[in-house]
A and B are shown apart, each in its own frame.
Chain A
Amino acid sequence: MTNVKEHKNITCTFCGALCDNIEVEVENNQIKKLRNVCAISRKKYEHALEDRTVPMINGQKSDYQSVITKAAEILKNSKNPLIYGLSSTTAEGQKNAVKLAELSGANIDSTSSVCHGPGTMAKQLVGMVTATLGEIKNRSDLMLFWGANPVEAHPNHSKRYSILAEGLFKKNRSEREIIAFDVRKTPTAKMADHYVELEPGKDFELLMALRLLINGKELNSEKDEIAGVKITEIKEIAEKLKNAKYGSIFYGMGLTMTGAKYMNTWAAMSLIRDLNSYGRFVMMPMRGHGNVAGSEITMAWQTGYPFAVNFSRAYPRYNPGEYTAVDLLANKEVDAAFIIASDPAANLPHQAAAFLKEIPTIVLDPHWNLTTDLADVIIPSAIKGITATGTVYRMDHVPLHLRSFLEDQWPDDAEAVSRIGELIENA
Chain B
Amino acid sequence: MLKNKSFTLITGRTIKQGMASVSGKKNEGYKKETAYVEISKEILKKYNLEEDEKIILESDSGQVEVRCKGAELSDKIVFMPYGKTANKLIGTDTGGTGMPNSKSKVVKIKRKEEKAN
**Chain A residues close to B by CB (< 8 Å):** 14, 39-41, 43-44, 46-47, 50-51, 109, 113-114, 117-118, 121, 149, 151-153, 155, 183-185, 187, 197, 199-201, 253-254, 256-259, 261-262, 288, 307-308, 320-321, 324-327, 329-330, 343, 345-353, 367-370, 373
Report the minimal beta-carbon distance from A270 to chain B, rounded to whole angstroms: 18
Interface size on B, residues (CB 8 A): 45
Chain A residues, Cβ within 8 Å of B14: 152
Q: Across the interface, do B18 and A152 meet the contact criterion of CB distance under 8 Å?
A: yes
Q: Across the interface, do B94 and A258 meet the contact criterion of CB distance under 8 Å?
A: no
Residue of A at shortest CB range from B79? A184
Residue of B at shortest CB range from A346? B84
Q: Across the interface, do B97 and A121 meet the contact criterion of CB distance under 8 Å?
A: yes
Given contacts A184-B77, A184-B79, A261-B95, contact A326 B88 (CB under 8 A): no
Residue of A at shortest CB range from B24? A51
Q: List 4 A-B pairs, minimum CB-CB distance, nearest first.
A: A324-B98, A321-B96, A330-B92, A113-B98
B112 on the interface (CB 8 Å rule)?
Answer: no
Q: 29 A–B contact pairs at CB < 8 A? A: A40-B15, A43-B20, A44-B22, A46-B23, A47-B22, A50-B24, A109-B98, A121-B97, A153-B13, A183-B8, A183-B74, A184-B74, A185-B72, A200-B8, A200-B104, A253-B12, A257-B99, A257-B101, A258-B104, A262-B97, A320-B96, A320-B97, A326-B92, A346-B84, A349-B61, A351-B62, A351-B91, A353-B87, A370-B25
Q: Across the interface, do B82 and A347 meet the contact criterion of CB distance under 8 Å?
A: yes
Q: Across the interface, do A117 and B100 meet the contact criterion of CB distance under 8 Å?
A: no
B76 on the interface (CB 8 Å rule)?
Answer: yes
Chain B residues, Cβ within 8 Å of A325: 98
Give A325 to B90 CA distance when docked, in angstroms: 15
Report the minimal beta-carbon distance from A360 to chain B, rounded to whole angstroms: 21
Q: Across the interface, do B98 and A320 meet the contact criterion of CB distance under 8 Å?
A: yes
Chain B residues, Cβ within 8 Å of A347: 82-83, 87
- Other than the given A155-B18, A326-B100, A347-B82, 4 more pairs (CB < 8 A) read A184-B72, A288-B13, A325-B98, A347-B87
Give A253 to B101 CA distance when docked, in angstroms: 11
Q: Across the interface, do B15 and A114 meet the contact criterion of CB distance under 8 Å?
A: no
Q: Across the interface, do A153 and B18 meet the contact criterion of CB distance under 8 Å?
A: yes
Report the minimal beta-carbon distance from A333 to chain B, rounded to whole angstroms: 12
Q: Across the interface, do A201 and B8 meet the contact criterion of CB distance under 8 Å?
A: yes
Report the minimal beta-carbon distance from A155 to chain B, rounded to whole angstroms: 7
B108 on the interface (CB 8 Å rule)?
Answer: no
**Residue from the set B18, B24, B88 with the largest chain A CB neighbour count within 10 Å:** B18
Give A53 to B100 CA distance when docked, in angstroms: 30
Chain A residues, Cβ within 8 Å of B41: none
Residue of A at shortest CB range from B72? A185
Report the minimal beta-carbon distance from B79 to chain A, rounded to whole angstroms: 6
Chain B 14-30, CB within 8 Å of chain A: the 1/0 string? 11001111111110000
Q: Across the interface, do B87 and A257 meet the contact criterion of CB distance under 8 Å?
A: no
Chain A residues, Cβ within 8 Å of B96: 320-321
Which of A40, A50, A149, A324 lies in contact with B94, CB distance below 8 A? Answer: A324
Chain B residues, Cβ within 8 Å of A151: 15
Chain B residues, Cβ within 8 Å of A330: 92
**Residue from the set A155, A183, A345 with the largest chain B CB neighbour count within 10 Å:** A183
Residue of B at shortest CB range from A197? B74
